[in-house]
Amino acid sequence: MKKLFMSAILAFLILHSNNNYSQTANDTIPTLDLDEVVVSTPFKETVKNNVIKVSKLRLSDLSMINAQNFRFSLLKVPGLSVVSTGPYISKPSIRGMYGNRVVTYANNMRLENQQWGDDHGLEIDAFGTESIEVIKGPLSVLYGSDAIGGVIYISPDSYINDGFEVELGSYYNSNYSGFTNNLGIKGGSGKFSYIVQGSLVDNGDFENADGVVEGTFFESTDIKAGLGFKSDKFISDLRFNHSSIKVGVPHGDEHDDHDDHDDDGDHDDDHDDDHDDDHDDDHDDHDEHEDEESYQDLTNTMISLKNTILFERSQLEITLGYSANNRKEFGHHDEEGHDDHDDDGDHDDDHDDDHDDDHDDDDHDDHEGEAHIDMDLSTTTVDLKYVLPQNEKSEFVIGTNLVFQENKNLGEEVLVPDATKNDFGLYGLTHIHGEKWDVMIGLRADFRSIEARGFDKNYSSLNSTLGFKRDLGNGIMRINFSRGFRAPNLSELFSEGIHHATGRYELGDRDLSTEKNLQADFSISTFSETSEFGFDLFYNNIKDYIYVNPTNDYVDDFQVYKYIQKDASLFGGEIYFNKETAVDWLSSETSLEFVSGETSDRENLPLLSPVTINQSFVFDFDNNSFEISALAKGKKQNVGQFETQTDSYFLVNISGSHDLNFLDNLTLGWSVDNLFDKEYVDHLSRLKNMGIHEMGRNISVGLNYSF
């Protein structure tokens, strides 16, 4: 793997060694805008001046179609991959770290939605999002526990000061007969501004090379609102977001080996008879699910109030947040605690005895009282930040974060127990400016308490960060060292039952200690008005890494897997090159990324993306733009203990947008994903273990109108 990585780097450098830096700048390459202000770090520095490397992506810089899906947006950032369960459930993975090892902020507050589950996605609608910032590496000094792998900061749409704006959009996706519609209204007058936005998504089961994959539908309703106030001395931002989501849980056959995909023919036969009718009536099928279907019914409400008091040379920022997350899971296929897994018929009979009458109604809502899993998670957050008076040589900020969280079970089965979790963190961070060198130093103390069914334990950690930035004239060099920590989550502490999604009996350990890591980052970027070239290298050493390990015990024919701890390390990097060509309407983006990880016993860590190369070309004319992108992923051979190897694959996507002349501000957008209808399996897809290929060709078309 190391030889492959070095060969890929060499080929990358040879490919671009003769490129020059003399063309005219164009905003079609979002990474070139180094003057963008970063909001995920406290000093409001630009991307260029920040000591910590921050990747910032504006959704307006993406194609109109791709901007509708966070999955496509996140994959634009080198070093960021996605652990997915079909096209709708996606968990961002930063250099091999995901779930409770990555902190996500949305609507000015910390996102908490039972993120320990591999089948629990972001559950954030892309519409109404202005930008995404990604910090690759531990930033516990600012964000506390769980920021051991990095931070994803999702900024909502900004207000307008005066006037009135309306945006309408409607999109269709051919593969899964999916419709997306959105409406956004912005207004402002004097010191007040407001935003009201909403979206509806109705997607059927997706189709791959084997036919329609049942149980992969997705429906959502999302409402966002904001009220802003701004004066010379005071700024206030009130945000509200409510989403309701129903997403299918596919049930493929569990296989021991997927490398050769020997069961493709059988899989095809299963779908041949039903494919035409099912695919034509995808949306009717949502209300006519079979008894054995599994799905999740999710609601999430977030309210935040961010107040900034501006003094003569300093400012105080107070952010209050509250979120209520409810997760219901229906059906037998993805739950824990059932007595029989191998005999689906017996399981369905038991299930049907309780639910026959309700299934006759053929509507999801009729199952509300029958959810096997029903969890309420309420979270209250308080963030205080005071930026002290600045001078030309230094800036200093102190702050505190508080989190109060309660988890309650209302359903028949319990994945994680009723519990309360309280966090308290206190930090200080300074940025010292020099002529050539900038230095950032931070220190933080964190405390977390967890109480659950006779369990009462406290966790604490002292974390720090030290960073250097060197101005190279036409480039920047950064060196950062950061310590992070993560307390074990409820699943790792308290699991005790059959997890049918993984086909194993999982056993938590109440004596697990905190994970602690030290990561070193080294990056160099060079740039001109038209081009940017850079590379990032990292080494991440983790003490007491938590993972699940098989034992020799069995319960009801299920092998027992126990959460244990072992030291581990990850290393890798990214290379990127973005430039304008000699032709002013053509630009290109290229990136290569690699990550490898193993425990102290030299066992490979699971769910690490293979070597990945992205290449795209953008053709930008006055009223039209086109993009051709290619994604190549290498064969994954160094796999974790429970993983199988994954073959390499190569995908081509195309997209475009066109301003229509007959009506001002009307834009037509389209895309074709997986242009050649490639049959492939992604290594980070949970569908891999079900013998299910990824989605086939998808043609999308949409209209967007603003006035």
Spatial distance between the Cα atoms of 188 and 543, rounded to a whole number of angstroms: 51
Quote the percentage of the chain above a pLDDT of 90.
62
Q: What pLDDT score does 260 carry?
A: 40
pLDDT for 334 beyond 60:
no
CA-based nearest residue to 405, from 386, 433, 424: 424
pLDDT in tens, 644-676: 999 999 999 999 999 987 778 899 999 999 999
> Torsion over CA of 110, 111, 115 and 116, rounded to 10 degrees?
20
288 pLDDT band, cuts 50/70/90, is very low
Q: Note the maximum CA span of the chain.
A: 75
Q: CB of 463 within 8 A of CB of 457?
A: no
Lowest mean pLDDT among 31-40, 214-223, 448-457: 31-40
Query: Rg of the chain's alpha carbons, rounded to an integer?
Result: 25
Spatial distance between the Cα atoms of 645 and 635, rounded to a whole number of angstroms: 7
Q: Which residues of 419-434 are buried (b: 16+ CB within 10 A; e: fewer)?
A: bebbbbbbbebbbebe
The whole-model pTM stands at 0.85
Q: Which amino acid is at 600?
A: S
Spatial distance between the Cα atoms of 652 and 680, rounded to a whole number of angstroms: 13
In 174-249, at which residue ranges do the beta strands (DSSP E only) sit?
A: 178-189, 192-203, 207-208, 211-212, 218-230, 234-249
Spatial distance between the Cα atoms of 7 and 637, rounded to a whole number of angstroms: 16
* Upper half-sphere CA count for residue 11 (Cβ side, 13 Å): 10
| Alpha-carbon 36 to chain mean position | 22
Residue 365: both structure tokens together: 């809502």
The secondary structure of residue 258, as a DSSP letter, is -
509 pLDDT band, cuts 50/70/90, is very high
**Residue range 37-251+293-330+372-706 in CATH 2.40.170.20:** yes
CA distances to 11, 28, 64, 656, 663 from 659, rounded to whole Å, are 38, 16, 11, 10, 9
Spatial distance between the Cα atoms of 547 and 556, rounded to a whole number of angstroms: 23
More confident position, 488 or 360: 488
pLDDT for 353 beyond 50:
no
Residue 171: both structure tokens together: 């999109």
> Torsion over CA of 684, 687, 253 and 506, rounded to 10 degrees?
60
CA distances to 386, 421, 461, 480 from 43, rounded to whole Å, are 11, 30, 24, 17
CA distances to 286, 294, 556 from 335, rounded to whole Å, are 20, 9, 15
The secondary structure of residue 60, as a DSSP letter, is G
The secondary structure of residue 390, as a DSSP letter, is P
Spatial distance between the Cα atoms of 463 and 324, rounded to a whole number of angstroms: 29
Residue 195: both structure tokens together: 């935003």
Q: Which amino acid is at 578?
A: N
Q: What pLDDT score does 503 carry?
A: 67
Q: What pLDDT score does 55 carry?
A: 92
Q: CB of 85 within 8 A of CB of 687?
A: yes
Helical (H) or strand (E) element with 267: helix 264-280
Spatial distance between the Cα atoms of 51 and 469, rounded to a whole number of angstroms: 5
25 pLDDT band, cuts 50/70/90, is very low
Count CB-CB contacts under 10 A for residue 600. 12
Place of tokens 């207004």: 187
The secondary structure of residue 147, as a DSSP letter, is T
Q: CB of 168 within 8 A of CB of 186?
A: no
> Torsion over CA of 675, 123, 29 and 587, rounded to 10 degrees?
0
Mean of the pLDDT values across residues 182-190?
A: 95
